[in-house]
Structures are given as structure tokens and as C-alpha cells.
Amino acid sequence: MQHISSERISWKKALVRETPLLLPVAHDALSARIIEQAGFGAVQIGGFAVEGSRHGVPDIDLTHFAERYAAVKDIMGATSLPIMVDADDGYGDVKNVTYTVRGFEGLGIQALFLEDQQAPKECGHMDGKKVVPPEEMVGKLKSADQLETNRGSTQAARCLAEALAVDGGSPAIVGVVSTIETIASHYAEKAGVQRRLCRRYRAHASNAVVQPPPVSGTMRCCGETDCQSLSEFIRHYMVAIDEPPVPDAIAFASELIANRRIYIWCDPDPVAMAGWAGPTPNGIRINSVYTPPQFRNRGYASNLVAQLTQKLLDDGRRSVFLFTDQRNPSAERIYERIGYRRVSAGEHWTFKAKV
């Protein structure tokens, strides 16, 4: 039996029924049917899974639209769940994206995701990937958006907004400048909400530390005896970055300490903090860098971040990265002096209901 679009569960229903909505990956028709029978509310068709199971090759740009289209058509017939399809990079430039979107919408597919890799693209977990310029990706996104003719696709953003509203969520998106602004604009228009630029930031990366001029004091990992002073640092840090307060700063500080994710510079008392988050096999992010006003301009944060960066590199990470708020150019200069280089600029957009 081949399921037709009118029989397929809508994304709106799926998003309301399950929060968060989980999308297991189907590599063939049988796995899609098993996913539905196991009780999941939606399914995705992943490129790496299809390449390996259907063609016996790695996901390194060996197959393209025709092969993926055939796989999707077979899988669709085995499930009534809403399906998200990995459309790789759209299989070329803007005109190829146009062809890809039309083809999948003709099958009744209501959700796709597109990558911003340069050809030949590779699976996302592989090393050595390069991305296209932002303006090229913006062109692809615009062409895909303008071609939406299927009602399920044109209502996807509104369905997501409604589901988030029901759940009490507050949607936000973060991404590279120009690309993310385009996405934010389309989302706000289709979801019927107002968009707001919350913050502009820059991403910086380092794989070699330049040691700053030494200062008195030492870095150490926080212990239980630091919980009270660390919680005060956290409270003031959230104010400094214009974010909502942590509901229970003591509990949050205790969790960071237990996971050994937060470090302080002591001279001899705590005068600065920095933490880490988002570890991957090759990279890790430094965050929560804060120095109380009375201890600033003494080099404490520079030495703390430099030593923590070196420790993370010594632990086996190939690179360490961090984000800076563009409203604070002095922080950018400090990080550049200790070996960080700018790799991208981005924006953080939030949305709320129209008044």
C-alpha cells in the first residue's frame, strides 16, 4: 500500500502530540514501519543511513537526487508518519535546489533540511568539511522557500510556532549573519510572530595559545567550598550578559562543580571564573567568563582563559572556541592577543506573539 498525502499525519498534529518530537532515522521501508509501530510520531530519512544500507557506500557525495528520490518514494509507502528528508546540499546550486524541492514536494514530503557544505559534500560527522559563502546559502534558502506549494510545507513554521506556544516555549534561533536573518524573517512572517534581534556575536577558535603577561594568582578547578562565591559570580554574570537569572544559582553552581566544568582564578581569593561546555571529539567551548568589576583590567581573565584553553588542548581537543558579544570589543581584543582568531559572525533572534 502506498500512503498518499491526504492520509499522512500532519506535522501540526505530530508537534502537538509529542514534546519534544523525536525523529528516528529510517534507512529503508521496513525500518520506517518499525519506527511507526514502536510509537514514534515522526521519522526522518538520513543520508548516511540510506547511502550505507541501500548502496553500500559512505556518504561522500557519490549519489545524488535521483537515488535519494527513489529511496524516499519507497520508504513513504511504508508509513503514515510525517517525514523529514535529508536533501544534502540540494545537489548543486540554486537551480538544483529548485528541482530538488519540486521533486520532493511532488511526493508529498513536507520537510527537508539542506546543508551549506561545499561540493563534494560529506556526512556531517566527518572531518575536513568546508562551507559555502553565506550569500550562496541564502540564495538556496530563498529559492526553496519561494517554491513551497504544498500546504503542509507552507504551514510548517506556523505549526511549529503553535506547538511551541501550546508547550509554553519561546522559540529562538542562532546562526551565521545574513543566513540566519533570512531564516528569522521567513519564520516570523509564516508563524505570524514578531522577531527581535537579541544579540550579535562572533565565534573565535584557537589551537595554539599565546601566553599573556603573567599575573599573581593561580587557576584551579572549583570545589565544594567555592559553591557560595561561585553562585554569586553566576548571578552577576547573568546580569552582565543581559540574560534571565538562574532560578537556583546555588544548585547550578553545585552541578558545575560536580561535573568539573568551572574554573576560577584565585589571588588568593576567587577573582575570575571561566567554564567549558559542548564537548565533541575534536572541539570544546569556553563559556561563562566573568570578572567582578573591582578585579577587572588586571589580566586575571586573560590568564584564566589562556590556561584553561591550554588545558583543554592538552586533554586532546584539536581546537577550543568561544563566543563574544559584539557590544564588547575589548573582550575580542583580549582573546585575539592570547591566540584566538575570528572564524564567523552570527546573530541570535527571538520571537514573540504580535501585540
Q: For the segment 218-261, what is each residue's pLDDT rounded down to a tens digit?
A: 999 999 999 999 999 999 999 998 888 999 999 999 999 999 99
Cα 335 from Cα 308, distance rounded (Å): 13
Using left for φ > 0, alpha for ψ between -120 and 50, and beta otherwise, residue 297 falls in: left
Q: 212 and 157 in one domain? A: no
Using left for φ > 0, alpha for ψ between -120 and 50, and beta otherwise, residue 31 falls in: alpha
- Kindly state whether residue 304 falls inside one of the protein's structural domains: yes
What is the structure's pLDDT at 211? Answer: 95
Counting as low any pLDDT under 70, the low residues of the chain are 1-6, 145-170, 178
Q: 39 and 158 in one domain? A: yes
Cα 38 from Cα 34, distance rounded (Å): 6
Q: Report which residue type is found at 85.
A: V
Sequence-distant contacts of 103-107: CB under 8 A, at least 24 apart: 103/65, 103/69, 104/69, 104/72, 105/147, 105/148, 105/149, 105/150, 105/153, 107/69, 107/72, 107/73, 107/76
- Kindly state whether residue 35 falls inside one of the protein's structural domains: yes
Residue 339's SS3 state is coil
* Boundary-marking domain end, from 149, 168, 187: 168
Q: 156 and 240 in one domain? A: no
**Pairing of the two strands 262-266 and 218-221:** antiparallel
- Kindly state whether residue 199 falls inside one of the protein's structural domains: no
Q: 107 and 154 in one domain? A: yes
Distance of CA 3 to the CA centre of its chain: 33
* Boundary-marking domain end, from 122, 146, 168: 168
Cα 15 from Cα 166, distance rounded (Å): 10
- Kindly state whether residue 351 falls inside one of the protein's structural domains: no
Read off φ and ψ for residue 265, nearest 5 degrees. -105, 125
Q: 124 and 229 in one domain? A: no
Q: 164 and 58 in one domain? A: yes
Distance of CA 280 to the CA centre of its chain: 13
- Kindly state whether residue 178 falls inside one of the protein's structural domains: no
Q: 125 and 28 in one domain? A: yes
Q: 159 and 210 in one domain? A: no
Domain that holds residue 112: 5-168
* Boundary-marking domain end, from 110, 142, 168: 168
Q: 151 and 247 in one domain? A: no
What is the structure's pLDDT at 17? Answer: 81
Domain count, the chain: 2
What is the structure's pLDDT at 122? Answer: 84
Residues 6+ positions from 342 with CB-CB distance below 8 Å: 202, 203, 204, 332, 336
Cα 148 from Cα 170, distance rounded (Å): 26
Task: Answer whether 306's CB lies under 8 Å from 338's CB.
Answer: yes
What is the structure's pLDDT at 320? Answer: 96
H-type helices in 41-178, by residue range?
A: 47-50, 65-76, 94-107, 134-146, 151-154, 156-167
Cα 14 from Cα 44, distance rounded (Å): 13
Q: 213 and 146 in one domain? A: no
What is the structure's pLDDT at 116? Answer: 86
Cα 230 from Cα 258, distance rounded (Å): 13
Cα 117 from Cα 137, distance rounded (Å): 9
DSSP summary character for residue 55? I
CA distances to 28, 142, 218, 219, 321 from 331, in Å:
50, 35, 21, 19, 14
Cα 61 from Cα 343, distance rounded (Å): 26
**CATH no. for residue 249?**
3.40.630.30
Instruction: Report residue 348 as a C-alpha cell.
Output: 541570535
What is the structure's pLDDT at 261? Answer: 96
- Kindly state whether residue 93 falls inside one of the protein's structural domains: yes
Q: 308 and 224 in one domain? A: yes
**CATH no. for residue 88?**
3.20.20.60
Q: 149 and 14 in one domain? A: yes
What is the structure's pLDDT at 128? Answer: 75
- Kindly state whether residue 177 falls inside one of the protein's structural domains: no
User: How many C-beta atoms surround the C-beta of residue 346 within 10 A?
Assistant: 18
